[in-house]
Structure 1
Amino acid sequence: MLGAAALAVLFMLILLPALLGVFSSTLETVIEQRLASDASTLIGAARFENGALKMPKRLPDEIFNLPEAKLLGYIYDRDNRLVWRSRSADDESITYLPRFDGNGSTDFLRTRDASGEEYFVYDVELHLQGQEDASFSFITMQPTREFAYMLDGFRDQLYIWLGAALLVLLGLLWLGLTWGFRSLRGLREELDEIESGAREQLSREHPRELLRLTDSLNRLLDGERRQRQRYRDSLGDLAHSLKTPLSVLQGVGEVIATQPHNREQAQVLQSQIERMSQQIGYQLQRATLRKSGLVRHRVPLAPLLDTLCQALDKVYRDKRVEVERVFDGRLHLPMEQGALLELLGNLLENAYRLCLGRIRVSARSDLGGCELWVEDDGPGVPEDQRARIVQRGERLDTQHPGQGIGLAVVRDIIDSYDGSLHLQASSLGGAAFHIRFDNA
């Protein structure tokens, strides 16, 4: 609409001087024709007697006979001597000299009097046949101020009418574009419903010109959905197929552990089996927790946090951990539920394990995106170790079992959603994990 309005305004700005130029040129042509007609009146009234030019006391055109009239008449001979002037020109002081070329030419030009007032001048040269010295210049003049008044009046009217036409044109453009893009607004609404999960496909209730686009988007949505399902099924099959061999190996390790001389080897075997299980889980999380290309999910934070806290309260019931919540209960985060569950679950599990008794979960959303903080009052993380612990396999806590996978999964999930993770010191005394997701 802004582009169409700019083009309409530009068109009007170009049209305005063009119309003024056409009107001015036409008006000057009319004035020239009028002065030429008045000059013909002078020529028709002139008589050449006894070698001299004679003019009647009163001309047929009465306007020449009125002292206050603004139509002036002059006749000059070939030596630029004033031969005759009309009564209307008696009080005028115009210093104009005709240009004789002997070809009977006519000129239409402008000149000024002693006071600076401008006049239109029509000059026609007339040579009488058979009379050697009978060459005269018949001149009619008219002030240009009437022309200027008419031009100014036309310009004012043009401003009004073109302004009104521009408003009407902008209104028609707005109506036309609103009607023309109505179908695109419907398509946008359906896409919003797909992003929110309320719809799976685009309908075919769109103009014929958009059906090819909607069909292509539907095929893309179906292909993406089927591909993600195949990934999940394949990874589930892989996890199931590896579960049995790992269980067998774990049983063998337990049998070996019953023999005192093999106890050390059994511990090595058990630790490697546990590490393999965690690595498989880690790779499964990396492959499945990816942001969808077309469907953007939004998950409410409060109920998911309730579920996680209830489960962790049972695991760490001896600590009696207090979880402080600093966010709007209606806040939604732009993630899949499984991804958010895995991310927040790993952060809360670390916080429960390391805190002294207090955890704070904060979140907020703005026009640029959303932010999430998970803080605890535990020992914290030294500044020189903060970059290391988010690497896969790195751990600071050696008193509890694990392979350092949890924070690596958190980092991968955040990266898959083009987010950022920063580890800071919390005002509670421990660590603060700050996560930000920017709007696309």
Structure 2
Amino acid sequence: MIRSLRFRLAVGAFVAIALSLMTVWASLSRLFIDYVVGSYREEMTVLSDSLAAGVVVKDGKLVLTSTPSDPRLSLPASGRYWQFEAAGQVPERSRSLWDTVISTGPPSSYGAGLFTEATGPDGAKILVLEQKSSLGEGKDAHSFVIRTAFPLVELENALQAYHGQLARMLIVTALVLAAAAFIQAAIGLAPLGRLRREVARIRAGESAGIRDEGPAEVRPLVGEINLLLAERETAVERARARASDLAHGFKTPLTVLSQLAERMEPEAADMALRQVEIIRQRADRQLQAARLGVEQMASTDLGSLIGKLIHVLRPATEARAVAWRLQTDGNLSIQADPADLAEAIGNILDNATKWARSEISIRAERDRDTILVLVGDDGPGVEASAYATILERGVHADGEEGGSGLGLAISRDIAEAYGGSLTFGKSTLGGLEVRLAFPANPVRRSKPSPA
């Protein structure tokens, strides 16, 4: 199925132009053929009438007393011919026929049966107009036949020249109409292009609604989109309020449980506190997933954001003299909520600060339609077979229980919510490398809450 509206309009215009010009071609061609054939018929009729006017009866025979003065009739194979036939008499001919006798031939396709075809003095085809007449009345009537002719090629050359000019004219007309159709489509679809740009500005967080302007046919759509945006904003505010209420509702029970656990036996208290921590982490993750569905898109400068995150995390590595290396390709920006992006990259950097021995490398670059953030360290690293388990809830990179993998899992959820991904590999520094990928032009996906 054809999805392009512009292509559909182009095909429709092409078909309409083609059918219109074919109709014009057929109509004008028919009219010109009729005109040219009519002109030759009139000329041959005048020639035949002038011959008939000179016919008299003399000694019981029909005699031509005068012939037309057209000089072409006196030159052999000149292109104009006549022949006079009377019953029982030798036919009289124009000198232009020389020794050729015009005989009745098959009807010509030109003139709807007015002309017949015969062979001229030069062997070429000629078109013959035959007129039968008589002189006198009753028993004294003498009938005769006058045949006038002209070359078929003369008619065909005239039609060919006309059709050539007509074809060139229609080609120019087709080009003009095609250009007009292209301009019309461009002007007609311009409001849709403006609407797309307005929606892109809303998605990027640069505008809150679409301006109500443009053609009357588009304004109802603009109004519906603005109503949808208003309803979405209302739903966003409600979701934020519910998420905040849920977060505050968890704090007090978890705090009470933590205080009660401290009064228990050490072994039981440790288990209870660990379970409380798991509940808190799961709640945080669910709240994070809920927030991903309601935040707005915005253009976030990647280099600036990573620089701020490094400034916050650097004090945690000063005691180990860990060096931070940042490399970015120009001015990279991602269409994503700044808070989401900061949390996704911050969790990865926080993980690197825990395992790096002396160096952390951050590289941000663009690979065609994807923006990559690669964070590597010179820590102990992780075996490739264990990559799948790093993101499991409550699992350390070294396999211990406790929930260190939750931050990376949240980073993965954020990336996937924007159509990206989070993968692992071996860093050039020797440790783990976390690769965070975002599409350069993301579309927020509907993502189910993690289990």
Task: Give the TM-score normalised by the residue count of structure 1.
Answer: 0.83
Q: 1:16 to 1:354 in 2, by over 3 A?
A: farther
Q: Counterpart in 2 of 1:202?
A: 210
Q: Counterpart in 2 of 1:119?
A: 126
Q: Counterpart in 2 of 1:354?
A: 355
Q: 1:345 to 1:98 in 2, by over 3 A?
A: closer
The one-letter code sitting in structure 2 at the alignment partner of 1:272 is: Q
SS of aligned partner of 2:306: helix
Q: 1:50 to 1:325 in 2, by over 3 A?
A: farther
Name the stretch that deviates more: 262-271 or 152-161: 152-161
- 1:285-341 per-position Cα deviation (integer Å, ceiling 9, x unaligned): 11111377xx64321101111121122212222233333333224111122112211
SS of aligned partner of 1:418: coil
| Distance in structure 1 (CA, Å) of the matches to 2:401 and 2:155 | 100
2:119–2:126 Cα contact (<8 Å) kept? yes
Please tell me whether residue 83 in structure 1 is matched to residue 52 in structure 2.
no
Q: Mark the runs of 5 or more structure 2 residues left unpaired by the alignment.
A: 1-5, 444-451
Report the Cα offset of residue 240 of structure 1.
0.4
Q: State which of 155, 161, 169 in structure 2 corresponds to 1:161.
A: 169
SS of aligned partner of 2:293: coil
Please tell me whether residue 380 in structure 1 is matched to residue 381 in structure 2.
yes
Please tell me whether residue 268 in structure 1 is matched to residue 271 in structure 2.
yes
| Distance in structure 1 (CA, Å) of the matches to 2:335 and 2:268 | 47
Q: Counterpart in 1 of 2:38?
A: 29
Please tell me whether residue 45 in structure 1 is matched to residue 85 in structure 2.
no
Query: How many residues end up aligned between the 2 structures?
Result: 426
Q: State which of 286, 289, 292 in structure 2 corresponds to 1:286.
A: 289
SS of aligned partner of 2:320: coil
Q: Mark the runs of 5 or more structure 1 residues left unpaired by the alignment.
A: 257-261
2:209–2:229 Cα contact (<8 Å) kept? yes
Report the Cα offset of residue 116 of structure 1.
5.3
Q: Counterpart in 2 of 1:233?
A: 241
Name the stretch that deviates more: 35-44 or 112-121: 112-121
| Distance in structure 1 (CA, Å) of the matches to 2:294 and 2:419 | 9
| Distance in structure 1 (CA, Å) of the matches to 2:391 and 2:138 | 117
SS of aligned partner of 1:154: helix
The one-letter code sitting in structure 2 at the alignment partner of 1:281 is: D
Report the Cα offset of residue 347 of structure 1.
1.6
Name the stretch that deviates more: 263-272 or 403-412: 403-412
The one-letter code sitting in structure 1 at the alignment partner of 2:128 is: V
Q: Counterpart in 1 of 2:447?
A: none
Q: 1:115 to 1:434 in 2, by over 3 A?
A: farther
Q: Counterpart in 2 of 1:424?
A: 425
Report the Cα offset of residue 214 of structure 1.
1.3
| Distance in structure 1 (CA, Å) of the matches to 2:351 and 2:255 | 27
| Distance in structure 2 (CA, Å) of the matches to 1:31 and 1:179 | 51
Q: Counterpart in 1 of 2:195?
A: 187
| Distance in structure 2 (CA, Å) of the matches to 1:432 and 1:305 | 16
1:391–1:407 Cα contact (<8 Å) kept? no
CA RMSD, 1 decimal: 3.4
| Distance in structure 2 (CA, Å) of the matches to 1:227 and 1:198 | 20
2:98–2:121 Cα contact (<8 Å) kept? no
The one-letter code sitting in structure 2 at the alignment partner of 1:143 is: P
Q: How does 1:366-405 map to 2 (within 5 A)?
A: 368-398=369-399, 401-405=402-406
Q: State which of 272, 277, 286 in structure 1 corresponds to 2:280.
A: 277
Q: 1:226 to 1:106 in 2, by over 3 A?
A: closer
SS of aligned partner of 1:397: coil
Q: State which of 70, 76, 79 in structure 2 corresponds to 1:70.
A: 79
Task: Give the TM-score normalised by the residue count of structure 2.
Answer: 0.81
Q: How does 1:194-343 map to 2 (within 5 A)?
A: 194-256=202-264, 262-290=265-293, 296-343=297-344
The one-letter code sitting in structure 2 at the alignment partner of 1:35 is: M
- 1:63-110 per-position Cα deviation (integer Å, ceiling 9, x unaligned): 56432642111235679x97121122227x57643579xxxx974144
SS of aligned partner of 1:207: coil
| Distance in structure 2 (CA, Å) of the matches to 1:391 and 1:301 | 28
Name the stretch that deviates more: 147-156 or 282-291: 147-156
2:391–2:408 Cα contact (<8 Å) kept? yes
Q: Counterpart in 2 of 1:259?
A: none
| Distance in structure 2 (CA, Å) of the matches to 1:240 and 1:426 | 40
Q: 1:98 to 1:252 in 2, by over 3 A?
A: closer
Report the Cα offset of residue 115 of structure 1.
5.3
Name the stretch that deviates more: 333-342 or 321-330: 321-330
The one-letter code sitting in structure 2 at the alignment partner of 1:59 is: T
- 1:268-294 per-position Cα deviation (integer Å, ceiling 9, x unaligned): 1110111111111111111111377xx
- 1:247-284 per-position Cα deviation (integer Å, ceiling 9, x unaligned): 1111122233xxxxx11000011101111111111111
| Distance in structure 1 (CA, Å) of the matches to 2:290 and 2:354 | 27
Q: Counterpart in 1 of 2:446?
A: none
| Distance in structure 2 (CA, Å) of the matches to 1:341 and 1:270 | 29
2:104–2:118 Cα contact (<8 Å) kept? no
| Distance in structure 1 (CA, Å) of the matches to 2:316 and 2:399 | 19
2:328–2:363 Cα contact (<8 Å) kept? yes
| Distance in structure 2 (CA, Å) of the matches to 1:114 and 1:325 | 99
The one-letter code sitting in structure 2 at the alignment partner of 1:87 is: R
Identity, % of aligned positions: 28
SS of aligned partner of 2:331: coil
Q: Counterpart in 2 of 1:20?
A: 29
Q: 1:419 to 1:77 in 2, by over 3 A?
A: farther
| Distance in structure 2 (CA, Å) of the matches to 1:215 and 1:369 | 34
